[in-house]
């Protein structure tokens, strides 16, 4: 199992130091969250809390994930970066393809694209995208992204997006993997159909076990059971060395974590104690996984 460091809601001036510490500690990747803005009112519930409320405020810092990947990529050598997840529903996929191309090139191919539809009607509408039929539009946007990112002179004529022959250069140094987010059956089917992996929001171990089992069934139905496929997970009830071993046993391939939380530190804590927590996690968890070959 690999380990990924989440930098969600951390001060922007800490990101470079956190990335360097994560690389030294043995983390495989940095997970990049996405939130476009904080609207004073929202007309839909946030889907990943029991009461539908947002667990951040208008003061919480959110960095653009593509800008963050390019910035942290410049101060690291091996660490990979992926969005978990970028809200595709409110973005134009042609413009996004240009941005992803750039980040993939600047990081030497150390970038993966986690994609979700998005949950807030305001984010769609205020960015000029329709909230209605968002699922169909999302599927077509994924087609556009894959077509452009795979390189060459391409054209697309769909229901929502339409363009004649174009090419974006440079082509990423290697294929950009797509990780599909979402917990609904439709989202899981989409991940099995077009994804190189699946990325979870906050889930219990039992929920992860059931979801990963379902995804493996869906992959098998499509003849993809032997394909490489990542199960990226934020588990909320299993921690420590034994807890991460339990995650690996249910099929998690990429455990997303914030080591400073285990030390009682908040998002706004100073960077020094966070770095210490990352190093401690590297010694007490990552190194022992490597030693045991897990």
Q: What is the full DSSP assignment across 222-247?
A: TT-TTS--EEEEEESS--HHHHHHHH
Which residue bears the tokens 């101060």? 75
Q: What pLDDT was estimated at residue 251?
A: 98
Taking the C-alpha atoms of residue 92 and residue 129, their distance in angstroms, rounded to an integer, is 8
**Tens of pLDDT along the chain (294 residues)?**
999 999 999 999 999 999 999 999 999 999 999 999 999 999 999 998 889 999 899 999 999 999 999 999 999 999 999 999 999 999 999 999 999 999 999 999 999 999 999 999 999 999 999 999 999 999 999 999 999 999 999 999 999 999 999 999 988 999 999 999 999 999 999 999 999 999 999 999 999 999 999 999 999 999 999 999 999 999 999 999 999 999 999 999 999 999 999 999 999 999 999 999 999 999 999 999 988 877
Q: What pLDDT was estimated at residue 293?
A: 77
What is the length of the chain? 294
Give the residue extent of every domain in the chain: 2-292
Q: What pLDDT was estimated at residue 290?
A: 86
The answer to pTM > 0.75 is yes
DSSP code at position 63: -
Q: Is the peptide bond before 170 cis (omega within 30 degrees of 0)?
A: yes
Residue 102 φ then ψ, to 5° = -65, -45
CA distances (Å), origin 163, targets 86, 94, 118, 130, 152: 23, 9, 24, 19, 14
CATH fold for domain 2-292? TIM Barrel (3.20.20)
């Amino acid at each position: 199992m690999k380990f990924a460091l989440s930098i969600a809601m951390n001060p922007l001036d800490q990101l470079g130091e956190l990335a360097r510490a994560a690389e030294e500690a043995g983390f495989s990747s940095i997970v990049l969250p996405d939130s476009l803005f904080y609207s004073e009112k929202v007309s839909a519930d946030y889907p990943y809390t029991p009461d539908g409320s947002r667990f951040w405020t208008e003061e919480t810092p959110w960095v653009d994930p593509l800008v963050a990947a390019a910035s942290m990529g410049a101060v690291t050598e091996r660490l990979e970066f992926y969005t978990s997840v970028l809200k595709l529903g409110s973005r134009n996929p042609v413009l996004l393809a240009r941005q992803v191309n750039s980040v993939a090139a600047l990081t030497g191919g150390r970038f993966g694209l986690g994609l979700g539809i998005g949950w807030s009607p305001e984010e769609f509408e205020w960015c000029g995208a329709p909230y209605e039929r968002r699922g169909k539009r999302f599927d077509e946007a994924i087609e556009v992204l894959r077509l452009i990112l795979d390189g060459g002179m391409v054209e697309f004529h769909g229901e929502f997006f339409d363009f004649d022959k174009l090419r974006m250069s440079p082509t990423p140094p290697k294929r950009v993997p797509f990780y599909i987010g979402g917990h609904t059956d439709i989202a899981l089917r989409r991940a099995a159909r077009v994804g190189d992996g699946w990325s979870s929001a906050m889930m219990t171990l039992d929920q992860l076990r059931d979801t990963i089992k379902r995804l493996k069934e869906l992959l098998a139905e499509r003849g993809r059971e032997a394909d490489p496929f990542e199960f990226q997970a934020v588990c909320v009830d299993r921690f420590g060395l034994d807890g991460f071993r339990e995650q690996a046993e249910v099929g998690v391939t990429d455990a997303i974590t914030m080591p400073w939380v285990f030390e009682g530190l908040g998002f706004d804590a100073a960077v020094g104690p966070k770095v210490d927590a990352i190093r401690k996690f590297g010694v007490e968890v990552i190194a022992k996984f490597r030693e045991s070959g897990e």
